[in-house]
Structure 1
């Protein structure tokens, strides 16, 4: 789940205030006191000053046509199943995905580098000697869609307003920002208080820049369907709230010849249709109303992609390699509920899920078991801790109690016998619950000393999950848990998870390729545990986890960063606030054969709507020209 990071690096899951007092050593490879065209976490930049375009861009691709799809990822208050506001920068309401395409940022990131950003709206950045101030020179060619110039006053207004009123994932990274100084009409300096993590500027400089004039006349945090004045490569076109929205390409986009923008955004129109149920969206794709689809239902991929357009070659069914970034797909139990605070209860619930049976009978063998929330990356721990991990664990043990088993092989969730009711696992779950004080009671349900049942409502937003989670719920009930599924509409699901009003829910997302302290804090840190709108759904607030995140932010080298991440992975596997479930090693994609695209795809991010284009010869052949 990642948006176009050229525009909004900070809109990944890497958005919240960094750990206090982190040293700036890891950022020292980026020199101070001189204008820079880019920054990176460890001083590595692939592209030189004045580069013409990114290698994965396609400057010669044709412009035109419509890209119709349902997004596979979204952010903040965005909702892929409905929308009732165009304000994507605040918590309230349901906004459509890809509103971010309408806005520019000071920097954009490279999709073929793990942690590099390049000046975009800004033409240069200067780091102060104490590394607490960053001075950006705004490009004099930058302008809003109405032709008015983008100035330092707009940038200052943006950072101040977002810090005070923005969605938590936008506002919390700005906690250490103590001053936004307008040096001249085209120069802005961001001054931090010294508590920021060294690499936080990489995401902070990617925050959206909004128009001071427009938001002076319009309330920033209003839920509105009035398109805001923006500056990006697309603007809002036709729409029907909750049904569809179209974004129209800005032909005179001010940045189209810059190296950071050239060769992207080839479609004249990007259309998103909204469906509350997966099957309706699939039928629209089969008919050609939508032309690109990423399939997340294993059953559908295995059994339903045999319709006539597949058989005669008009629709291509393909796999694309997943990006080189950690992926998280996991459940959590809401520890704001007293009954889920005991790790033994969370472990017992995890034991009730039979992945082997589910994969064979419901997933057609298309998934593999996930044991880490950093799946598919070098941050996954394996075996016993190596020398560097051991050194870090010993350092942490001075002030923190380490979880039992931390020096053993990295915890892996036990496999079942594949029967769907593995008696050994169920006996283990029952013992864990008994040890946690839950004893057999009337009507077959476990009860605590107060006579309360162990209630668990599994919150879902689409009926497709009923088939998958139904057996899981029945197994929980078999061991005495009063478990149930609760299907709610998309708007209610977003409202309930944002306000932490649930027992159990699942989350899937993609971390930044090089996770920062601020990004980790957003989901795993104590600071975010009680801030509504963040993705710290389980209320994880563990001083040991905070200390590891501090060490990750302080890493001077990529090797030390990876060591810290693997130690974090070891700890989280044992503490069980997040319960990983399954993963896929690639993208399952189907598309009408009307597109052109460049191969290979970039390693770290794959925004198809920005990279592909209409191949007119193919489109004319299918009558979609």
Structure 2
């Protein structure tokens, strides 16, 4: 199955993971033992920094790898307003339009996160940062070498412009990180001050310190939200090369990149050209890989992974494939039933619809046994709750008891299990009883409410493969009297309808990061995001208890406390079923033409193949691809 996978960028931009909030007491930073206003090379929410001030490179970098060559792929993840299927603008920093994947590579922030630590950030455009005693003021000293692709220096004025503008007009994934920023001011050409309200926590603050910086001069005579194919200049290592709108884009490594010899970039980004191919059809993308027009592919469709990789190049070894271990972050793949539409507002209805999905039969017959049934929105992470609440989790939940389903205080909700025959009537009987308890009755073959209005559900898809996998689920809904249907729309219409919350049911996949921030999580679970265009609160959920749990996440003073609070939230989300957990894989099903080098192990918190691997000319010659 092809999943809609939006990855939240964590390397150059803010770590939009999962929330933190106003807190009476902030968790200690790794620099807590340093005097206030001491210049530091990095910050961390919990624990010490892995890399010292004089670090030479990141441990997952490979400085000895050769530079050059081309990497062509269909992206497994994308960011902000980007689309993997088409593009009509180069402006990826706003909500409007569809930008090509990897446009974020053009831009850099004051700081960047690593791929082998869950919450640390280090100086990028900034050579140092000093923090006030109260943790509300961050003063950055910009690197004198830092320059945009226009050859203009990156100045404090550019930082001020970028922060002010992104807070007002930026994509919601960026703007929400800046809610608690009250002032951004230039003290001189190379010194900039960012001040927070005092309501932020450490993860909140750290997430805001990596916003993309763009040149103010570029927007002297044009609006920030302008579309088109005039790329906004950045200070990053890449620039736009050849492209054909909606079909492909090439990014070229800049020979004049200011940071090419800096520790944060040494041994990374080896390719000269990174080419992103866009396909509206999954099968066409696979055929392009088989022909060698695409040289790396992550396969999200179990049927294809099990049965469509026996082509000659794979059989004779020119194409390699493997399941590469996943990352240590929550794996979120869930259905959203849009509660802005009255028929989905009752949790019993959502539970009934979930009972129509026969995972055991589907996995055995359509998914080749390659998927696991997700129990939680936070699969594969330490944040998944099990059994009954622990004393630490109860301490978080008890003050909210009056606003929570009573089941939260017992065994955690788990997925139903069928007999795998495809004809198990027990879950459908239970679903029928839940519909009846929620006020829906059968009139003939149709489920209707007290006013006689039928229960309608349209499952909105952006890939026909989902129709194959979930067709039986829709048929089960029809057996119960739901007027259920599926509708496939093109990529642009799909994204537009998501932005406007114009759907009944969708399936989403997101890649979260390991350390929550309230602002990030509220995009998915917060009441304040329910009616905000461009947020990820697709179910339209609004719960004061969940909002308070998001606050509690921000109050965590240690990673253990954070984990207990996240597990408490997991319990609540699973009994509410605003987001219905779907399925997940254990790693990356990856295939590639055998012309690349790679390190023997991958970092724990990221897998950007295009930046970690390199072109191996000897391998390419051996398979006739040099």
Contact kept in structure 1, 2:338 and 2:503, CA below 8 Å? yes
- Cα shift at 1:449: 1.1
Partner of residue 247 from structure 2, selected from 236, 240, 243 = 243
- Superposition pairs for residues 254-265 of structure 1, below 5 Å? 254-265=258-269
- Residue 200 of structure 2 is aligned to residue 199 of structure 1: no
Aligned to 2:11: 6
- Superposition pairs for residues 582-601 of structure 1, below 5 Å? 582-601=583-602
1:244-288 alpha-carbon deviations (Å, 9 max, x no partner): 000000122111111111111111000011100100000000000
Partner of residue 269 from structure 1, selected from 256, 259, 273 = 273
- Superposition pairs for residues 331-480 of structure 1, below 5 Å? 331-397=335-401, 400-442=402-444, 444-480=445-481
CA distance in 2, matches of 1:35, 1:43: 18
SS of residue matched to 2:561? helix
Contact kept in structure 2, 1:6 and 1:260, CA below 8 Å? no
SS of residue matched to 2:220? helix
1:445-472 alpha-carbon deviations (Å, 9 max, x no partner): 1011111111000000011111012111
SS of residue matched to 2:515? coil
- Cα shift at 1:3: 6.0
- Cα shift at 1:28: 7.2
Gaps of 5+ in 2: 1-5
Aligned to 1:138: 142
Greater alpha carbon shift after TM alignment, 519-528 vs 595-604: 519-528
Aligned to 2:578: 577
- Residue 618 of structure 2 is aligned to residue 614 of structure 1: no
CA distance in 1, matches of 2:24, 2:544: 16
SS of residue matched to 1:384? coil
Contact kept in structure 2, 1:23 and 1:198, CA below 8 Å? no
- Cα shift at 1:529: 1.2
Equivalent pairs, count: 619
Contact kept in structure 2, 1:351 and 1:429, CA below 8 Å? yes
Contact kept in structure 1, 2:203 and 2:516, CA below 8 Å? no
CA distance in 1, matches of 2:216, 2:463: 39
CA distance in 1, matches of 2:602, 2:579: 31
SS of residue matched to 1:405? helix
Aligned to 2:625: 624
Aligned to 2:3: none
Aligned to 1:548: 549
CA distance in 2, matches of 1:217, 1:22: 44
Partner of residue 49 from structure 1, selected from 48, 53, 59 = 53
Contact kept in structure 1, 2:173 and 2:520, CA below 8 Å? no
SS of residue matched to 1:80? coil
TM-score normalised by L of structure 2: 0.97
Q: 1:332 to 1:102 in 2, by over 3 A?
A: same
- Cα shift at 1:128: 0.9
SS of residue matched to 2:127? strand
1:142-172 alpha-carbon deviations (Å, 9 max, x no partner): 0011211000000000000101111111112
CA distance in 2, matches of 1:391, 1:340: 31
SS of residue matched to 2:210? coil
CA distance in 2, matches of 1:522, 1:319: 31
Partner of residue 306 from structure 2, selected from 302, 306, 309 = 302
CA distance in 1, matches of 2:459, 2:29: 43
Aligned to 2:293: 289
SS of residue matched to 1:149? coil
Contact kept in structure 2, 1:552 and 1:561, CA below 8 Å? yes
Aligned to 2:26: 24
CA distance in 2, matches of 1:535, 1:173: 14
CA distance in 2, matches of 1:22, 1:54: 35
Aligned to 2:494: 493
- Cα shift at 1:25: 3.3
- Cα shift at 1:383: 1.0
1:168-224 alpha-carbon deviations (Å, 9 max, x no partner): 111122122111111110010111111223311221111100110112233210111
Aligned to 1:94: 98
Contact kept in structure 1, 2:30 and 2:44, CA below 8 Å? no
CA distance in 2, matches of 1:238, 1:278: 23
- Cα shift at 1:560: 0.3
SS of residue matched to 1:513? coil
Structural RMSD (CA): 1.3
Partner of residue 217 from structure 1, selected from 198, 218, 221 = 221
SS of residue matched to 2:279? coil
Contact kept in structure 2, 1:29 and 1:43, CA below 8 Å? no
CA distance in 1, matches of 2:80, 2:302: 27
CA distance in 1, matches of 2:23, 2:554: 10
- Residue 119 of structure 2 is aligned to residue 115 of structure 1: yes
Contact kept in structure 1, 2:72 and 2:277, CA below 8 Å? yes
CA distance in 2, matches of 1:72, 1:355: 24
Aligned to 1:320: 324
Greater alpha carbon shift after TM alignment, 1-10 vs 215-224: 1-10
CA distance in 2, matches of 1:23, 1:524: 23
TM-score normalised by L of structure 1: 0.97
CA distance in 2, matches of 1:164, 1:406: 38
Contact kept in structure 1, 2:185 and 2:193, CA below 8 Å? yes
Contact kept in structure 2, 1:354 and 1:421, CA below 8 Å? no
SS of residue matched to 1:191? strand
Contact kept in structure 2, 1:22 and 1:198, CA below 8 Å? no
Q: 1:28 to 1:622 in 2, by over 3 A?
A: closer
CA distance in 2, matches of 1:125, 1:600: 32
1:282-319 alpha-carbon deviations (Å, 9 max, x no partner): 00000000000000000001111100000100000111
Aligned to 2:283: 279
- Cα shift at 1:86: 0.3
- Cα shift at 1:424: 0.7
SS of residue matched to 1:409? coil
Contact kept in structure 2, 1:2 and 1:605, CA below 8 Å? no
Q: 1:465 to 1:601 in 2, by over 3 A?
A: same
- Cα shift at 1:26: 4.3
- Cα shift at 1:624: 2.0
1:401-423 alpha-carbon deviations (Å, 9 max, x no partner): 22121222211011011122321
- Cα shift at 1:387: 1.8
Greater alpha carbon shift after TM alignment, 498-507 vs 417-426: 417-426
- Residue 67 of structure 2 is aligned to residue 66 of structure 1: no
CA distance in 2, matches of 1:3, 1:578: 18
